């Protein structure tokens, strides 16, 4: 899987807000403990 990965700086608040928002949206579909690297799980979210 060829996906872009973005990192924010530890002390840059303006970068973390968007990151937290995206993580919240992802957690709607992937509950804690789910392996996010599985292709089947990602395909389920995309459809």
| Kind plus residue range of the DSSP H or E element containing 14 | helix 13-27
pTM over 0.75: no
- DSSP character at residue 37: T
Rounded mean pLDDT, 18-35: 74
Q: Are 29 and 40 in contact (CB under 8 A)?
A: no
- Please state the domain extents for the chain: 13-46
Check the CA dihedral 40-38-10-8 and report its sign.
negative
In which band, very low, low, confident or very high, does the pLDDT at 27 lie, cut at 50, 70 and 90? confident
Q: Are 8 and 16 in contact (CB under 8 A)?
A: yes
């Amino acid at each position: 899987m060829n996906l872009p990965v973005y990192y924010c700086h530890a002390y840059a608040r303006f970068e973390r807000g968007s990151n937290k928002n995206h993580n919240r949206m992802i957690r709607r579909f992937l509950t804690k403990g789910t392996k996010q690297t599985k292709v089947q799980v990602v395909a389920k979210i995309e459809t």
